[in-house]
Amino acid sequence: MDEVFKDPVHFSKGINLRELMTSATEFHIDMDFKKKTDDLSDDLFAELDEDDDDSDIEDVLKNIEESTEKLMLSSPEYLSFKDLAAKMVDCVPSGDVKILIIEEGAGPLVPVDAQVTIHYAAYWEKTKIPFDSTLTMNSGAPLKLRLGSGRCLPGIEIGLTTVKGPTARFHLLIQPRLAWGPNGALPRIRPEPALFVISLYSVRDVHAAARFNDLPMEEQTKFEVTFKTVTSLHSQAKEFFAKKRYKDAIKNYQQSMNVLGLSRPKDETEEAEIKKLKINVYTNLCVCYCKIKKPKYVFIMCDNLDRISNLDNHCKALFYCGRAHEMLNKHELALKYYKKALKLEPKNKEIGKALAQIDDYIKKSAEKEKEIWQNAFKSTPKKEKVLNVDEDFQNGVREMCQDLAGRTEYAKFDLPTGLTKDEIDCIESLASDFEGLLVQIDGEGKKKKVSIIKKLI
């Protein structure tokens, strides 16, 4: 057992400090952890065993450098933190957080309660390999943070609210007090200043809609306010949609349309942007209403879209209009809209699949309908009539028909008068079994004359 814990033990999962301090916490240690090897490609900072040679170490360090360089998170060239600080601007009066903006972002300053998506790499002075980075978190995906929630280092949060979003690149020089604390977190985190190279990818002002309602009417009509509020609403609606909370997404899009309705664009550029946002709202509402199976609302959204822009120019709206018609079993109309959508995007596989399915359905329905009508109009077989005719009479007539049928020339055999109706029916039935025989009936009543004629074929 002593040998197992001779070296430090690394937890496979991080520790939630708040839970650690406020509740009972258990740690489970896999006693075979020493036998397991980690894939260095998944963790840039995986430790090497003492037996690993220099070439392995160099490969890992090279991998780290290439990853940070690829995402523009590599350490900048400088002589010392003092020289670097001289080029930076204080974010707070104490100078504990300094910033150097590399690429200015578009839009307003990042709100203090925004949700941001970032990548960062943290360096000690005069080092090229980061000691901490988002590249080792969440399989290397950018980190999503809600500012003001306590999940972000204070210095990073201060720096983020100093730049404009939704995109930007900047460096932060943060003193220990506003990073991990004045004492650090030894042995990995030293109580020293750290340089953070940060890339800001997106900003979502989660409370923009709530703040909009508190603004005076004059502010609400401004394009800048409209765009900011609608962008926030749409971002949240997408999150609801991804979680299949379609009704919540619909509420956001409806609120977005109300905000757009108040906007007063100053020029053609702003007017075009407002129109574009409205088209986006109506189209996404079509999708949402299809998801909750309310086809009639889809048609209303399509009509609204058609009033501001020709519906036939919008593939997505056409497609979901077809879906709505299909829900109502109006397959011919659905086919019409699918074909219009396919004309705009001929290579769209989803439209092609919908077309194939509905075309197959229509064909099968036509075949089934044809079968139903055929069965409905199919005549029931006539019940065979029971003839009151002597068997000897039937045999005699059959022999006569056989004799006539075997002749090669025209022949006519006249039967005696006074035959009953059943006897005449019997003669007609038996003669029909032989090719070339014809029964001829002349006269009425008792004078009815019946003849069997052999025709020339």
The predicted-structure confidence for 120-161, as pLDDT tens digits, reads as follows 999 999 998 899 998 888 788 899 999 988 889 999 999 999
Q: Where in the chain are all domains bearing CATH 3.30.1370.50?
A: 391-454
Neighbour-count burial of 92, counting CB atoms closer than 10 A to its CB (0-12 exposed, 13-18 middle, 19+ buried):
middle
Vertex 115 angle, CA 111 and 116, to 5°:
95
State the amino acid at position 300 in one-letter form.
I
CA 293 to CA 289: how far, in whole Å? 6
Q: Where in the chain are all domains bearing CATH 1.25.40.10?
A: 209-375
> Which position has the higher pLDDT, 182 or 376?
182
> Which position has the higher pLDDT, 66 or 265?
265
In the chain, count H helices and then E strands: 15, 10
The predicted-structure confidence for 240-286, as pLDDT tens digits, reads as follows 999 999 999 999 999 999 999 999 999 999 999 999 999 999 999 99
Q: What is the mean pLDDT of residues 331-339?
A: 91
Q: Which overall architecture, per CATH, does domain 72-206 show?
A: Roll (3.10)
Q: Where in the chain are all domains bearing CATH 3.10.50.40?
A: 72-206
Cα 11 → chain centroid? 37
Query: Count of CB atoms within 10 A of residue 90's CB?
Result: 13
CA 57 to CA 41: how far, in whole Å? 13
pTM over 0.85: no
Maximum distance among all Cα pairs of the chain, rounded to whole angstroms: 139
Please give the CATH number for the structural domain made up of 209-375: 1.25.40.10
pLDDT of residue 208 exceeding 90, the answer is no
Q: Which overall architecture, per CATH, does domain 391-454 show?
A: 2-Layer Sandwich (3.30)
pLDDT at 388: 77
State the amino acid at position 374 in one-letter form.
Q
Q: Which of 27-41, 61-75, 254-268 has the highest mean pLDDT?
A: 254-268
**8 contacts: CB under 8 Å, gap ≥ 6:** none
